Amino acid sequence: MEEKIFHQMECLSESKPIKAIDIYEKLFDKRCDKRHLESAVQRFILLNKIVFRFLGIEIELSGTGSGLSLKFRSSNFIGSVPVRMPYDGIAHKDFQVTPRFDSSNNIYSNLTQLLSKLNYSISPEFIDGAKLTQPLLLRPPMYYEAAKYIDVFERSCKVNWVKFEVVQAEHCFPKSNTNWSKYALTSSDPRKALHYTSSDSILSKNHREWQELKYVFEKACSIILQPHVPGSIRYKFLDQMDSLKRKTASITPQQTNYIAIRASDPFYIKEVKQQANILLQNTFTSSVSAWRMDMAQLFERYVQYITTMAAKGRNASVKANSRIRGRGNMPQWGLRYLEPDLLIKMNDKIIMADAKYKAHNYAFHTKSDVLKESHRSDLHQILAYCSFSPEKDKTGVLFYPSNDARIRKIQYTEQLCGISNKVFLCGLPFGIDGIDSSIKLVRDLLVNADLD
């Protein structure tokens, strides 16, 4: 597999400089002209401009000749893209960005467990036409969606959801819907003289929509049972899958690419149909194409979950994604609303908070103009949110992912009027193993933020 991986790195990270000899031997497999290595690298960057932009990869090229070096910088996306080689313009290898918080053998195990814990789903984005060279090894982790479908399918099986189905049946007496043409052909046989075939409408669970849901269930089972799925997830669902197979043994699966959702459907049926369409879309359309998932969305959800749990028992209420609407003579490019990730109300105090999936706490002691300008933007944003707090002295919180739990308090004071703003920089361990320490940290933060 390593021969097919052009480069692998974590999101929100920067690779070590790759020297000219390694570019020639390892990245390009000694198949380009060593004398014109710099032009080969330039051609490589140009050929892969679209896929690198899609995956959020920045490339830094420095030096010339034997001093040439190449460096990659990843953003908030994880995923895989094929890379085209400068010597023939064909994709022979794949570039992979993995979750930063996961260091286990299965690189997506922690991600799947965290999605399950937060009851959240991230749908991968794809590029049509950019096919991975190793699709079976580098495809997005779909077993979480499959496991979620099995859970909702089990709940839907408890609903007595039946529909009329037309079946051919034989009776010993004629009916209004008897097939007289067939009877005319068979009645000459004395043994069939009293056999009347008719088309009967009966209430049945074996209708087309249940058959389509059964088909998706079988697809979900096949995904869960694949060898790359972590054993803890596979074994967890074995008994559940066997039980559901027995319960739905009478239903014949019917292949489909989409299941229509109707207003008249029961609640659990709508739920299972929605999850079925997510699974169908992600497994049938672009499962071997270049893909990406935005970890910033997951981190925002993670922070909202952590803060909600930390606020329990502290006489505090948490509102996620509260909108602050704008009115007036607004231009076309104006912002019609502001949307802080969190609004925390404690007693008579309001705290504005925003989650930023950026590398600031991973490079805490690094002097970087890029990080400084990015933080300046974050700081201005949280101070703008704080302006809607009624207190004279405002309090805001910026959450960043971090290797360990940490809080830093920064106070900005205007000298003329004496008005001050407190901003807490809160680093949260991001991952399934960091939930408990993150909740404790945010509880401490709320205690400190409540102090005058």
CATH of domain 295-449: 3.40.1350
In percent, how much of the chain has pLDDT > 90?
40
Say yes or no to pLDDT of 2 above 70: no
Listed by start position, the domains of the chain span 2-106, 141-162+206-286, 163-204, 295-449
CA 264 remoteness from chain centre: 30
In percent, how much of the chain has pLDDT > 70?
94
The residue among 271 and 391 whose pLDDT is bigger is 271
DSSP symbols for 350-405: EEEEEE---STGGGTT---HHHHHHHHHHHHHHHHHHTTSSSSSEEEEEEEEESS-
DSSP symbols for 65-134: GGG-EEEEE--SEEEEEEEE-TTTS-EEEEEEEE-SS--SSSTTHHHHHHHHHHT---PPEEEEEEE-SS
Element housing 185 (H / E): helix 180-186
Banded pLDDT at 326 (limits 50, 70, 90): confident
CA distance 158 to 268: 9
Say yes or no to pLDDT of 450 above 80: no
Say yes or no to pLDDT of 227 above 60: yes
DSSP symbols for 274-319: HHHHHHHHHHHTSTTEEEEEEHHHHHHHHHHHHHHHHHTTTTEEEE
Ranges 69-73, 167-171, 249-253, 371-375, most confident: 69-73
Least confident of 105-114, 130-139, 142-151: 105-114
The CB density around residue 30, as the number of other CB atoms within 10 Å, is 9
- Predicted confidence at residue 117, as pLDDT, reads 85
Q: Which residues on neighbouring strands pair with residue 399, listed in sequence order?
A: 355, 426
Instruction: Report the greatest alpha carbon distance in the chain.
Output: 111
What is the average pLDDT across 31-44? 91
Residue 437, SS3 per DSSP: helix
- Predicted confidence at residue 123, as pLDDT, reads 77
CA distance 66 to 129: 36
Element housing 210 (H / E): helix 208-224
* pTM for the predicted model, two decimal places: 0.77
CA distance 245 to 218: 9
What is the average pLDDT across 415-425? 84
